[in-house]
């Protein structure tokens, strides 16, 4: 089982024995090995101990304690697993780079065998190439996150968290319409915690770019994304990079609040809409992926901005000023909470 983490069969057997028994001196380990290994025991035990030391799974004997001590498995093996995951991600990126080099330079492939732009079809193939392109990044992935979304993944990108942990930088421009999706703020906050740098804008297309260099543009008809363009290193890719940087320069940065949740003008607009609709704090928090405390704090801040003393007055000001796309005549009595719906909250 542990051989997938780099241990040999003898190292795994010795490690599992040491985990299950008190710290042992070399002679104790040799005595155990004679009962289970039909090999030259002393040399095999010495080699296994050396391998376990190199992997950081055991500590050497000391003058005060002439026995080998096992590092707690939940610590040592977890670190080893994380390192193997990073190594695997790096190997995948190198594999993709080698594949691209082969397609472009193989003398047996023939001139023009790899087009600068590939047209791919179907959600399964699009998702496969989307993952391939991200794994091929050397240090950065950037792009436009905009609807329509592939129905099989909705709007999430599970691979991003893995690559962020592996040290790949992500710069993401979110379309305002995408931020309005239920639960999206919580997802974005989690990615921000891992290092994603995000901004919001109105975007014309769904786009992914890496410094491999390679890119993908999602095509759609009648809001049904079933085709995409995969762009290899070319002047077209340079143009798309310029498009991204132009939108990035003028986009609104997204930040996180003291509770570690994403806040932005688009999220505030959704909060206002929910407030005006009459939902309670718990319902609003569930919709936005926030805590009740965050909702109450942000409502208080907005009420102060509008000069309102109650939730009702704040909601009234939102509608009166047309912030959500409409206005109603100003009614001083209603604004002062004197009407039949003006009870304090």
Residue-wise pLDDT for 78-125, tens only, equals: 888 887 777 777 777 777 667 666 655 544 444 445 578 888 888 888
Backbone region of residue 204 per phi and psi (left: phi > 0; alpha: psi in -120 to 50; beta: other values): alpha
Query: What confidence score (pLDDT) does residue 32 get?
Result: 82
Query: What confidence score (pLDDT) does residue 330 get?
Result: 34
Task: Give domain status of residue 111, yes or no.
Answer: no
Task: Give domain status of residue 343, yes or no.
Answer: no
Range of the domain at 188: 117-256
Shared-domain flag, residues 209 and 279: no
Lowest average pLDDT, out of 47-56, 67-76, 255-264, goes to 255-264
Shared-domain flag, residues 238 and 281: no
Mean pLDDT throughout 321-326?
54
Shared-domain flag, residues 168 and 240: yes
Residue-wise pLDDT for 167-178, tens only, equals: 999 999 988 777
Task: For residue 345, count other CB atoms closer than 10 A to its CB.
Answer: 14
Residue-wise pLDDT for 145-169, tens only, equals: 987 776 544 456 788 999 999 999 9
CATH of the domain at 292: 1.10.10.10
Last residue of a domain, one of 51, 71, 91: 71
According to DSSP, the β-strands at 169-175 and 197-201 are parallel
Shared-domain flag, residues 12 and 56: yes
Q: Does the predicted model carry a pTM greater than 0.85? A: no
Mean pLDDT throughout 121-141?
89
Q: What is the mean pLDDT of the chain?
A: 75
Q: For residue 200, what pLDDT band results from cuts at 50, 70 and 90?
A: confident
Task: Give domain status of residue 109, yes or no.
Answer: no
292-306 helix and 281-288 helix, angle to the nearest 10 degrees: 110
Shared-domain flag, residues 273 and 290: yes
Q: For residue 279, what pLDDT band results from cuts at 50, 70 and 90?
A: confident
Shared-domain flag, residues 268 and 248: no
Cα separation, 297 vs 303, in Å, equals 10
Q: For residue 12, what pLDDT band results from cuts at 50, 70 and 90?
A: confident
Task: Give domain status of residue 129, yes or no.
Answer: yes
Task: Give domain status of residue 301, yes or no.
Answer: yes
Query: What confidence score (pLDDT) does residue 340 get?
Result: 37
Task: Give domain status of residue 345, yes or no.
Answer: no
CATH of the domain at 230: 3.30.870.10
Last residue of a domain, one of 224, 256, 288: 256
Closest CA to 147 of 241, 260, 224, 243: 224
The total number of structural domains that make up the chain: 3
Shared-domain flag, residues 243 and 275: no
Cα separation, 147 vs 179, in Å, equals 10
Query: What confidence score (pLDDT) does residue 110 get?
Result: 43
């Amino acid at each position: 089982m542990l051989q997938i983490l780099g241990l040999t069969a003898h190292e795994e057997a010795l490690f599992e024995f040491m985990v299950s028994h008190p710290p042992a001196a070399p002679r104790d380990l040799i005595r155990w090995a004679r009962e289970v290994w039909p090999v030259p025991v002393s040399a095999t035990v010495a080699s296994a101990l050396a391998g376990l030391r190199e992997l950081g799974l055991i500590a050497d004997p000391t003058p005060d304690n002439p026995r080998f001590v096992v590092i707690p498995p939940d610590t040592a093996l977890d670190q080893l697993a994380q390192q193997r995951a990073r190594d695997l991600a790096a190997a995948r990126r190198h594999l993709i780079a080698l594949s691209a080099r082969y397609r472009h330079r193989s003398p047996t492939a023939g001139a023009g065998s790899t087009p600068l732009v590939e047209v791919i079809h179907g959600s399964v193939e699009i998702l496969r190439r989307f993952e391939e392109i991200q794994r091929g990044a050397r240090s950065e992935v950037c792009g436009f996150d905009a609807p329509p979304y592939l129905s099989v993944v909705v709007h999430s990108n599970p691979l991003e968290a893995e690559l962020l942990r592996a040290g790949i930088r992500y710069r993401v421009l979110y379309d305002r319409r995408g931020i309005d999706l239920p639960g999206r703020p919580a997802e974005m906050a989690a990615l921000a915690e891992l290092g994603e740098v995000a901004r919001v804008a109105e975007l014309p297309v769904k786009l992914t770019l890496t410094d491999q260099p390679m890119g993908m543009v999602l095509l759609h008809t009648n809001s049904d994304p079933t085709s995409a363009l995969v762009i290899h290193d070319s002047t077209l890719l340079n143009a798309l990079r310029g498009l991204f940087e132009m939108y990035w320069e003028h986009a609104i940065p997204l930040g996180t609040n003291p509770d570690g949740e994403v806040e932005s003008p688009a999220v505030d607009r959704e909060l206002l809409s929910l407030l005006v609709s009459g939902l309670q704090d718990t319902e609003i928090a569930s919709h936005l992926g926030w805590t009740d405390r965050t909702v109450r704090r942000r409502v208080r801040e907005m009420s102060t901005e509008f000069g309102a003393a109650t939730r009702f007055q704040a909601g009234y000001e939102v509608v009166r000023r047309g912030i959500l796309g409409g206005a109603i005549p100003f009614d001083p009595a209603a604004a002062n909470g004197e009407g039949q719906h003006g009870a304090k909250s």
